[in-house]
Amino acid sequence: MSNVNLNETAPTRFQDIGGVSLAYRHFGKEGAPPVACFQHFTGTMNNFDPIHTNRLAQDRPVILVDYRGVGRSGGKMPDSMPAIAADIIAFVKALGLKQIDLFGFSLGGMVAQQLAFDAPERVRRILLAGTGPSAGEGMQEFSPEVQEIVNRPNSTQQERSLDLFFSKSPTSHAAGEAWLKRIAARKLDREPDAKPQVAEAQLVALAKWGAIPTTDRYGDLTKIKQRTLVVNGKDDIMVPTINSYILQQHLPDARLILYPDSGHGSHFQFSEEFAEEAARFFAAA
């Protein structure tokens, strides 16, 4: 079957979970376990890179879903990772899926970890990009550099994304510009931008996730037995790159890829290379 441009053309569907409707898109080759994809802070389905999702869709079903209260999903955005994960677990059950693979970027990677904690029987493999563990290094709040970019007056969302997700080099920024064009390729049936209430709730969820316990800081990571691929850039200013090392060191079965001259969105900068790595990872027995 042909899967050309499925990210750009797949219809948006809606699934009820206990009286709340979650917006999602489901496309790709049937047969293999589906890969469910979870988005970054205030991100929607619009922000997934079609190079990634269309490559994965050649081999397996791909599911993009917006959290409660995001895009056209109903309800109010939860303010904790367990609550977000509970919605996704209900969503997976409602779709009748026995087991799925997970691909989470940034906040979405935290949601993926929480899913593995709370419903391990539903999770086969995990891909974590630009993310960190609970109580990670420098994850208690955004750094002054990130706060300056986020609060920069008279800047556009696209300009902020370039500075937050990519390094300062011309090569990295050029790759960022190409990514922005790719995620704008879907012209119809796009999701509305996240509302301020979504950002507020997600900031609370991030603060809870970043809180440092008094003992056994990374002990929970040993509970994630699934094979995991951790991906990041050399200098992630949003979720410091050291957290990718921490994930790889504490997860029992994890591999780590670090891309050069890149940051939080390294997998967008090295999009073709990453797409092939991801496809191989999910395809392996």
pLDDT single digits (tens) 182-223: 999 999 999 999 999 999 999 999 999 999 999 999 999 999
Q: Strand, coil or helix: what is 42?
A: coil
Residue ranges per domain, the chain? 6-283
- Quote the CA–CA distance of 72 and 94 in Å, as a whole number: 18
Residue 77 has pLDDT above 80, yes or no: yes
Which candidate, 89, 78, 107, places its Cα nearest to that of 15?
A: 89
Q: Which CATH class is domain 6-283?
A: alpha beta
Residue 9 has pLDDT above 90, yes or no: yes
Q: Given pLDDT bands bounded at 50, 70 and 90, which one contains residue 285?
A: confident
Q: For 4-13, 15-24, 42-51, 59-68, which range has the lowest pLDDT when averaged over its residues?
A: 4-13
User: Would you tell me how many other CB atoms lie within 10 Å of the CB of residue 261?
Assistant: 17
Residue 1 has pLDDT above 50, yes or no: no
Q: What is the mean pLDDT of the chain?
A: 97
Helix, strand and coil percent figures for the chain, each rounded to 5? 40, 15, 40
- Quote the CA–CA distance of 140 and 210 in Å, as a whole number: 5
Residue 2 has pLDDT above 70, yes or no: no
pLDDT in tens, 235-268: 999 999 999 999 999 999 999 999 999 999 999 9
- Quote the CA–CA distance of 101 and 125 in Å, as a whole number: 5
Residue 45 has pLDDT above 70, yes or no: yes
pLDDT in tens, 30-40: 999 999 999 99
